[in-house]
Structure 1
Amino acid sequence: HTWAALIEADFRLGDRMLYLRSPMTRGDDITDLQQRLGSLGFDAGYVDGIFGSDTESAVRNFQANQGLTPDGVVGPDTVMALGRLAGRRSGEKTIAEVRETERLRSQQGLQGRRIVVGETGGVAALIDTLARRLRADGAEVLTLHQPDLSAHAKTANEWDGAVYLGVTLATEDLSVAYFQTEGFVSAGGRGLAEHASHAIVGPLNAPHPAVGMRIPILRETRMPAVWCRVGDPARVVERAPALALSLRDALARWCDRPVLRAD
């Protein structure tokens, strides 16, 4: 992933033509494009640096608004139009952030909530126990047990999950990560990360701070998502039932209060 990140960072908006293709184009130029569109009120979805269908739709809407051919291709004319409007942004937050916050605040409770919980090996019993507890509360739960996190994201997206919580064992950098990049933060992801961070301390007796990151599992999921690096491994296994209960409580609290900070 480090090499891929270096390649993506090589591009600035205007360096290349951008359009929807398969596999989807990635890069810092797309991050910049999404941020500009979103702050002007055109919903390009998450500012994730991936040129997907939401971004193409926002580009077409922007082009039509500016009297350009709405072909979804970001070429010199579209980049120039974005440049002209650089000082007219409607606010610091993108329209995707505002809509995510509004959507989350309109829903409450675990009942009927579509929750994806996953792990990459070593904590299958923890995830299965968590899933059982959530189902007992009326949630619909999909469990994922495999090492490929891109497959986690793809499956969670196809299943149309409302939230994703992933767990892996770790001996260092213990944390609960949510999606954040320059100019964008997943408000729902951050809220869940903070709830989970507080909940984990009790059973594991170790701080697991909430941190904003742009790792692939958080970029590629189309829903609020957190990635929990929990440790130490022996204590996680020993305290799995208590940890599962704490994570269930964190998800329940998140459902009732998904956005913690006043933005």
Structure 2
Amino acid sequence: MNKLSDGAAEAVADIGDGASLAVGGFGLCGVPETLIRAVLDQGATGLRLTSNNCGVDGRGLGLLLEAGRAARVTASYVGENKEFARQYLAGELEVELIPQGTLAERLRAGGTGIPAFYTPAGVGTQIGDGGLPWRYDGSGGVAVQSPPRRTDVFDGRTYVLEHAITCDFALVHAARGDRHGNLVFRRSAANFNPVAAMAGRVTIAEVEELVDDLDPDAVHLPGVFVQRMVVLTPEQAADKPIEKRTVRA
């Protein structure tokens, strides 16, 4: 099966208003920048985003936030994105913050058909007990808060029940791929990309290099999880900004 699209615009054309998107990346590493820009140009709004974070101001998912295209974000980190924080505190954006490992496992569970799982992360906190602000009212009050999660005890230890995440679409970035959708990631640029890809009902991958044949033992994500592929230009593949540049005095 040839899963190649004629470009990013074609690949994301059917992402509609209100769609849910699982997006790979960590900070600015391994972010599907070209696909995100294509979604921005395409015009879909009211998007429900699931990603570790929302990039930074002016890059990554920060572009969709700045354009007012996001209605809800499920993430582990607000971090370096001032617009993300502003919209959240102003009540313009609903945000579900969850532990990073739990987010990764919820995405993986969604891709493997596991409806829910137990974890000790969050026991005795607002994650498990409820009351975590999901949306503010714009005046400092909480308009929507997280509900309490079910807990159970196994071998004398309390665990929180977490539900799997599946999304309408997934956007991911990979170093190499073949026409069948098999993907190879490069080192830390893998981050959330494999589990995000697994959680998407329709997964769209941008790849830096298209290869004719991949050694099956080298494949990081099988093509069964990928429905569409976009091959980046050399300029797009080389566009890898540094989130925090540190130099010696």
* TM-score, normalised relative to structure 1: 0.25
Select the structure that is richer in strand. 2
The answer to which structure has the higher helix fraction is 1
Higher relative contact order at CA 8 Å, sep ≥6: structure 1 or structure 2? 2
Computing the radius of gyration from Cα coordinates, the structure with the larger value is: 1
